[in-house]
Amino acid sequence: MKKYTYTEKKDTRSGFGAGMTELGRTNPDVVTLCADLVGSLKIDTFIKENPQRFIQCGIAEANMIGIAAGLSIVGHIPFATTFANFGSGRVYDQIRQSVAYSNKNVKIAVSHAGLTLGEDGATHQILEDIGLMKMLPGMTVINPCDYNQTKAATIAAANYEGPVYLRFGRPVVPVFTDAEQTFEIGKAWLMNEGTDVTIIATGHLVWEAVQACEQLAEMGINAELINIHTIKPLDEEAILTSVSKTGCVVTCEEHNRLGGLGDSVAQVLIKNNPLPQEYIAVDDSFGESGTPAQLMEKYGLDAAHIVKAVEKVIKRKKAN
Amino acid sequence: MNQIKDIEQLKKIATQVRRDIVRQVHGCQSGHPGGSLGCTDLLVALFFNIMKHNNQFNMIGEGEDLFFLSNGHISPVIYSVLARSGYFDVSELATFRKLNSRLQGHPTTHEHLPGIRMSAGSLGQGLSVAIGAAISKKLKNDSCMVYALMGDGEQNEGQIWEAVQFAPHHKVDNLIAIVDVNGQQIDGPTEQVMSNRNLANKYSAFGWQIVYMDGNNMADVVTSLNKAKELCGKGVPVVIMMKTEMGAGVDFMMGSHKWHGVAPNDEQLQSALAQLEETLGDY
């Protein structure tokens, strides 16, 4: 197992904030909008340095999406920011018509995705947003895994022409990817080569998968690990190359098992190379209040559950 | 585009646009003639007299006034006005709402129809988009104006009021919003379906300047638009309460919500066309 280490933990939303700070200094067309959550989105520095390029929208997300679409028409690159729940499900029709169908260069950048926002509970813990967004034609969906990858993804989103949904989170998690990395939208990252199983992980679950791979190595199971940061467009070639070697898959995401990364991978397998797959995902339920670690454990998203899923999928492969 | 100042000439264009509207809707036996006919004078005034615009379309529209249609179902009128302005050939109006057409039921950028900058149809979104474009123009030191047209039934939508509170707060004063006050929506008179009560007072309370317009009187349309323009640039957004008659120009379509989304049959088409002189040549 290739060794991944970290010296500090940071929140992915701070990686977004750092990316925005850099964009504020380097790209005069970038503007930021927020719906009364500046502190949570970590965009204070961007606002301080570019006050004229920040638009406070108040608690009115539908209008914010429309304003962003309008800004893009005249040539700005707007980042509309809020919590994932309020930047996807709450404003789905605005995104559908004014952004996706209109093919506007709008970046919807949202924090507090998934269970790990913790104590606020299920009203804020959206677990359906990847599915909602990936169903929109032309929408790019990105879910980076740590501070550095989120910063790089933010800059890549600004450089890409077209609508992007960039999803990140609240809790501090290990910073284990390179500080100076190039982020290629739609390109999977092969983190560890293995032969027994392919683990495909996105977002916060990538670190859980790293830990799972280490445990599996001690058990004599040689896992291949792929970080899919871009759920749409999906790097089908990387997935098919890997599974042709390993013969089975475990997908890992902080999302409902319906409609997320797992279903996207399953479609690729069904069409090309049907093989056993297990899902690490929330089992079609809402979340609840608790600490991030408690919720990851209760809803079956932590490293221990990934290890169990790998054992199960390898058994299925051998039974075939 | 060359500005046409003669009111009589603008009225002649409007008559042809009204012919185009009923012929488009008749041609595919679907669409929304009522609101289209009611807003014809406004769109003719905007595109032939008021707005600085270029029929060699580019999306960004630098140095141009921009128009956003929020009540997208009145697509026949915007399609006709764009074609008559030279954005695309008038013959294409015959493809309205038909398979493989750029003239979709509701206007869209998806088919790259020149003149359309935003998809509209799901109501309540256009004012927000227009405000965003207006802010963008200010940031880019482009002194041109942004216009947005909405329906009065559309004022039921919550997003409208998010946008209405936003524009005065951010001093968006290069924007003229227009509400087509025809008093009708699909299920009946607006007062019965969902009353707007005193719409002007509502906008005023949110901090907008109000201009009143007789939307089916070309001279008053032009005068009111110029009056609204004079109110711009003072830190306060402007809204025009445009009183119109749904179906204006075709007697049997006026005075009721029933022609909101119904196409005329062959006999009704002939009756309508008999009331509308062919001034510029049919497509």
Q: Which domain holds residue B113?
A: 7-274
Q: Is B131 on the interface with A (CB under 8 A)?
A: yes
Residues B256-271 pLDDT 10s: 889 999 999 999 999 9
Beta-carbon separation of B132 and A67 below 8 A: yes
Give a yes or no: residue B136 inside a domain: yes
Mutation target vs A (from B60, B110, B125; most A CBs, 10 A cutoff): B125
Q: Is A223 on the interface with B (CB under 8 A)?
A: no
Q: How many CB atoms lie within 10 A of CB B5?
A: 10
Mutation target vs A (from B66, B111, B118, B170; most A CBs, 10 A cutoff): B118
User: Cβ neighbours of residue A113 under 8 Å, at least 6 residues apart?
Assistant: A84, A126, A129, A143, A167, A168, A169, A203, A254
Q: Which two tokens stand for residue B9?
A: 């000439």
Element (H, E) at B160: helix B158-169
Beta-carbon separation of A65 and B128 below 8 A: yes
Q: Which residues of chain B have pLDDT under 50?
A: none
Q: Which residues of A fall within a CB distance of 8 Å from B140?
A: 74-75
Q: Which residues of B fall within a CB distance of 8 Å from A55?
A: 135, 170
Residue B148's beta-bridge partner residues?
B68, B177
The pairing of strands A77-83 and A223-227 is unpaired
Q: Which residues of A form the catalytic set?
A: 61
Q: What is the pLDDT of residue B63?
A: 98
Query: What are the domain boundaries of chain A?
Result: 9-174, 189-319
Q: Are A9-174 and A189-319 in the same CATH fold? A: yes
Q: What is the pLDDT of residue A101?
A: 98
Instruction: Find tokens 């880019």 and name the residue.
Output: B140
Interface of A with B in 63-82 (CB under 8 A): 63-76, 78
Cβ proximity of B109 and A41 under 8 Å? no
Closest CA relative to residue A163, chosen from A223, A64, A232: A232
Cβ proximity of A107 and A161 under 8 Å? no
Q: What is the pLDDT of residue B2?
A: 80
Q: What is the pLDDT of residue A220?
A: 98
Beta-carbon separation of B132 and A62 below 8 A: no
Mutation target vs B (from A73, A77, A90, A136; most B CBs, 10 A cutoff): A73
Q: Is A31 on the interface with B (CB under 8 A)?
A: yes
Q: Is B238 on the interface with A (CB under 8 A)?
A: no
* Beta-carbon contacts below 8 Å between A and B: 116
Q: Is A95 on the interface with B (CB under 8 A)?
A: no
Identify the CATH number of the domain in which residue B105 sits. Answer: 3.40.50.970
Interface of B with A in 53-112 (CB under 8 A): 59-62, 66, 68, 108-110
Q: Is B127 on the interface with A (CB under 8 A)?
A: yes
Give a yes or no: residue B282 inside a domain: no
Beta-carbon separation of B109 and A53 below 8 A: no
Q: What is the pLDDT of residue A260?
A: 98
Q: Is B148 on the interface with A (CB under 8 A)?
A: no
Q: Is A27 on the interface with B (CB under 8 A)?
A: no
Q: Which residues of A fall within a CB distance of 8 Å from B164?
A: none
What CATH class is the domain A189-319? Answer: alpha beta
How many angstroms separate the CA of residue A60 from the nearest CA in chain B?
A: 6
- Helix or strand or coil: residue B30? coil
Q: Which residues of A fall within a CB distance of 8 Å from B60?
A: 73-75
Which chain A residue has its CA at the smallest distance from B136's CA? Answer: A71
Cα(A265)–Cα(A277) distance, integer angstroms: 9
Domain count, chain B: 1
What secondary structure does DSSP assign to B197-213, as a single string? -SHHHHHHHHT-EEEEE
- Domain boundaries A9-174, corresponding CATH code: 3.40.50.970
Which chain A residue has its CA at the smallest distance from B118's CA? Answer: A102
Residues B9-40 pLDDT 10s: 999 999 999 999 999 999 999 999 999 999 99
Mutation target vs A (from B139, B161, B206; most A CBs, 10 A cutoff): B139
Respond yes or no on whether ipTM tops 0.90.
Answer: yes
Q: Is B141 on the interface with A (CB under 8 A)?
A: no
Q: What is the pLDDT of residue A164?
A: 98
Percentage, residues of chain B above pLDDT 90 = 98
Q: What is the pLDDT along chain A (320 residues), one digit of tens a residue?
A: 889 999 999 999 999 999 999 999 999 999 999 999 999 999 999 999 999 999 999 999 999 999 999 999 999 999 999 999 999 999 999 999 999 999 999 999 999 999 999 999 999 999 999 999 999 999 999 999 999 999 999 999 999 999 999 999 999 999 999 999 999 999 999 999 999 999 999 999 999 999 999 999 999 999 999 999 999 999 999 999 999 999 999 999 999 999 999 999 999 999 999 999 999 999 999 999 999 999 999 999 999 999 999 999 999 999 98
Give a yes or no: residue B2 inside a domain: no
User: Cβ neighbours of residue A110 under 8 Å, at least 6 residues apart?
Assistant: A81, A82, A83, A84, A86, A87, A88, A129, A165, A166, A167, A168
Q: How many CB atoms lie within 10 A of CB B40?
A: 30
How many angstroms separate the CA of residue A169 from the nearest CA in chain B?
A: 27
